[in-house]
Structure 1
Amino acid sequence: MQDREKAFIRALVRSNATFGIGDDGVEISNFVVANDAFFEDVHFKRAWGSLESIVEKCFVVNLSDIYAMNAIPRFCLLMLTLPTDFKEVGKLAKIIGNCALKHKVKIIGGDTIAGDKLHFSLTFLGQRQKSRILTRQSIKKGDILGYMNPSSVLTHTKTQAFGKNTKILKTALRFHQHRKIQSNTRFAKPILYPKMLLELNSIARAGMDISDGIFMELPRLSHLNRLGFKVFKPKGDWLYAPEEYQMLYAIPKNKLKKMQNFAKKHRHSFVPFAKAVRGKYRESKKNWHT
């Protein structure tokens, strides 16, 4: 799928009909606009959790893209596909409404259609801050790359720790086709910390939301910035875990201590793992969902 996705995007860009492709979202006027799909049997299985947990993850997955670019989510367009035998329409509408209120977002429109499975597609509009928009570009040689990781029991360290999602996803696909998965894990319930993200965004040179795994994100950053990356942290699950929805930051080396202190204040750790160098970054490991 990943090769087909790359081929499609490259062909679309060559058509000269695109604008702003390559970041978590795109800046238009005073807003950042981002869209993500959340489809049954592609991104989730209904047996894995309650409707509440499915909707919450759907929102968080999209909201993380807005915060990643240093914007505040304000409005949402909702596209919803309802299975023809779905009998909890009223309940689902209430859950979606409550979730939007929780995250201080107004639903301003969209579309609802009938289909064979439960599918969501959310388009969020985030109001940009007075400070700059944070993009994936602008990394410079010598910059330090790092990711965020909870570091206190108050931030659910054991279940929300970075790098566990590969094991959880494989277990879910193998043994939980028709039953619930552990509900407090980061895979089932990613938790956002907007206040922390907006503070750290002001320090970073570049940043992005980690959705496909760091090993997939590094080649994209390498291509955009025309730089390579020297990974100095031993490779492990942290490199390959998908659907973390934590931030990957690039910062000037002289701001490392400041970044770590800000993260610590929010009971997180900023974990440096690579340095930007001349060249290109390549990773031979296949994408987890191919």
Structure 2
Amino acid sequence: MLGKLGRNDACWCGSNKKYKACHMASDEKIETFARQGHIVPPRFILKNGEQIEGIRESGKINTAVLDYVAEHIREGMTTEEIDRLVHEKTEELGGIPAPLGYEGFPKSVCTSINEQVCHGIPSEDIVLKDGDIINVDVSTIYHGYFSDSSRMFCIGNVSAEKKKLVDVTKECVELGLAQVKPWGFMGDMGQAVHDHAVKNGYSVVREIGGHGVGLEFHEEPFVSYVTKKGTEMLLVPGMVFTIEPMVNMGTDEVYTDGGDNWSVYTADGLPSAQWEIQVLVTETGYEVLAY
């Protein structure tokens, strides 16, 4: 399945190290799990040291752009203004906004308000109002490497119900992150996220989840948050993916706006919240690359 290399051959990952000093031990573990029937990551999604460093630098820009948004977002601002802030700051820092033109997406950032679950398109006609909650989803290309993270922002006097949704969703991400460990499973993280959301009376969107990211905007695996511990893909050092559950106050059912073919809404019109971080699986645990 994985292809056999000699101990002293160059490692398949492109690190220029000998196989025995690089991925040999990891590959042997992966083969053991595969023989037991587990889903294991394909080699092409495992990042080497040079690639990880490139993704890490991209992530620094992505995080800085979200920090910049946090400093400027306010009631009365249009989502088009947020788009301009993100575009200009990303370019100032040497990056390229990854969403712009991606599969036809027309803007540099996604802005999703209240019952919008994700992929909201910025507009001069959409003005942030007192009591709104908004997800700002930033993605960056830097020297060919991709990063992706998002944050929720509470505008003005947000109701206690909406504030709890925002806070619990962030807690879901933190609890999921704590389950990211080498030789664990993606389902360990997924169940931690789902259990916390349900415990608080919420639901988690099933159709849309996280994804691998780093060399491309969207890579394997698809990351679900309605999974069970001990299932889904084996977590292996070098994997990079997002944790980004979409937590709904009501039903988990969603629909896509037929007008723009991008914006996703809750089926019952109740609010949704999402936080997103980009995570690297390391030899000892995890590293957050963008938040």
TM range (shorter): under 0.3
**TM-score using structure 2 length:** 0.25
Higher RCO, Cα 8 Å, sep 6+: 1
**TM-score using structure 1 length:** 0.25
